[in-house]
Amino acid sequence: MSDTPDLGPVPERIDVDADQVRRLVEQQFPQWAGLPVHLVANGGWDNRTFHLGTDMVVRLPSASEYAQAVEKEHRWLPVLAPELPIPIPVPLAKGEPGADYPHPWSIYRWLDGVTATPDRIADPVRFALDVAGFLAALQSVDATDGPQPGIHNWFRGATLRTYHETTQSALEELEGRIDVELAREIWASALDARWDGVDRWFHGDVAEGNLLLDDGQLAAVIDFGTCGVGDPACDLAIAWTLLTTDGRQAFRDRLAVDEGTWARGRGWALWKTLSSYSGTYDDAEKRLAAASAKRVLDEIFAEYAGSRSPASTSAVRPSV
């Protein structure tokens, strides 16, 4: 595989409404016809998500690129689920194109929980250990014949060089607003950190929206559309994007992460955060995303500075 595979254009997403979903279910799964269908609030980007009755959910890829994950999820989630200490989605049925909807789609059992925002986490260190325990179990599953990185998961598990051009573009855009030189140093250290080449399972998008809480504790991990086998460093980004300082250390200790893997994980966190921080701030939602990205950059920069010297540094310069 090339170090810089072609990611292609930004996917053109399609809309799906509840009436379409009802028709799809009626045509293909008559045993569930008549059940109420309504849109899931904050149902994600890659899929249009709808409640089906009280205990099922329908997920319909929002673009052809995301539809590539459907077959993978049906093949592998039933294999992964019994090996993991925390519930994950397991498909109940796979639908086919129809009712003016062009892609395969899925029905899953609904998993209860609220997304894992910092204010909802009861014990940050226990949460970090639970996430690490989940990832340790996932990485221990036999990776033989597992899905290699590709367009189906936007090359998660492959080299960070896939995202070198977008990272450089973001840094150019952010010149004068963040410490670009420090960011370039962190990025270079991530690119230079070599993977041992041993395939391991990874989730690919361990983020607050895909971690569910019950009473403040980790209760489920959802959305495996970017999962695969390869370099699991992409799953370490959560250490900077959501965990506290103490939680990050407990997370690293639990996974026994070596310096190279940690550097690559830091690189994934940096790329993800720069992607959120760059762009315009012409509405409240984008300004909120920028503020969140600023907080994460502070975490990344301070942790990196602390790893090389006792001195600390501030990540973001005052806006002008």
Q: Are residues 121 and 33 in the same domain?
A: no
Reading the block at residue 108, the tokens are 């899953």
Beta bridge partners of 59: 49, 106
Q: Are residues 104 and 163 in the same domain?
A: no
- The H or E element containing residue 247 is helix 245-255
Q: Are residues 135 and 174 in the same domain?
A: yes
Q: Are residues 128 and 163 in the same domain?
A: yes
From 110, 133, 163, the end of a domain falls on 110
Range of the domain at 183: 115-308
From 110, 138, 159, the end of a domain falls on 110
Token pair 């893997």 is found at 261
Q: Are residues 227 and 122 in the same domain?
A: yes
The whole-model pTM stands at: 0.92
Q: Are residues 95 and 66 in the same domain?
A: yes
Q: Are residues 29 and 135 in the same domain?
A: no
Cα 187 versus chain centre, distance: 19
Please state, in angstroms and rounded to a whole number, the distance separating the CA atoms of residues 57 and 92: 10
The answer to whether residue 13 sits within a structural domain is no
Is residue 200 helix, strand or coil?
strand
The 10 Å CB-count burial string (b at 16+, else e) for 185-198 is ebbebbbebebeee
Non-local (6+) Cβ contacts of 263 within 8 A are: 189, 190, 192, 193
From 86, 110, 134, the end of a domain falls on 110
The answer to whether residue 78 sits within a structural domain is yes
Q: Are residues 155 and 63 in the same domain?
A: no
**Among 63, 244, 224, 79, which residue's Cα sits nearest to residue 156?**
224
The 10 Å CB-count burial string (b at 16+, else e) for 264-283 is bbbbbbbbbbbebbbeeeee
Distance linking the first and last C-alpha atoms of the chain: 42
What's the CATH number where 300 sits? 3.90.1200.10
Q: Are residues 169 and 201 in the same domain?
A: yes
**Among 281, 307, 277, 271, which residue's Cα sits nearest to residue 292?**
277
pLDDT truncated to tens, each residue of the chain (320 aa)? 345 565 656 678 899 999 999 999 999 999 999 999 999 988 888 999 999 999 999 999 999 999 999 999 999 999 999 999 999 999 999 999 998 999 999 999 999 999 999 999 999 999 999 999 999 999 999 999 999 999 999 999 999 999 999 999 999 999 999 999 999 999 999 999 999 999 999 999 999 999 999 999 999 999 999 999 999 999 999 999 999 999 999 999 999 999 999 999 999 999 999 988 876 566 777 788 888 899 999 999 999 999 885 544 444 443 32
Q: Are residues 222 and 236 in the same domain?
A: yes
Calculated CA dihedral for residues 44, 295, 264, 65, nearest 10 degrees: 20
| Contact between 221 and 127 (Cβ < 8 Å) | no
The answer to whether residue 124 sits within a structural domain is yes
The answer to whether residue 151 sits within a structural domain is yes
Q: Are residues 274 and 179 in the same domain?
A: yes
Domain count, the chain: 2
Q: Largest Cα–Cα distance in the chain?
A: 64
**Among 273, 90, 88, 245, which residue's Cα sits nearest to residue 178?**
273
What's the CATH number where 89 sits? 3.30.200.20
**DSSP of 14-45, one letter per residue?**
----HHHHHHHHHHH-GGGTT--EEEPTT--S
Q: Are residues 188 and 148 in the same domain?
A: yes
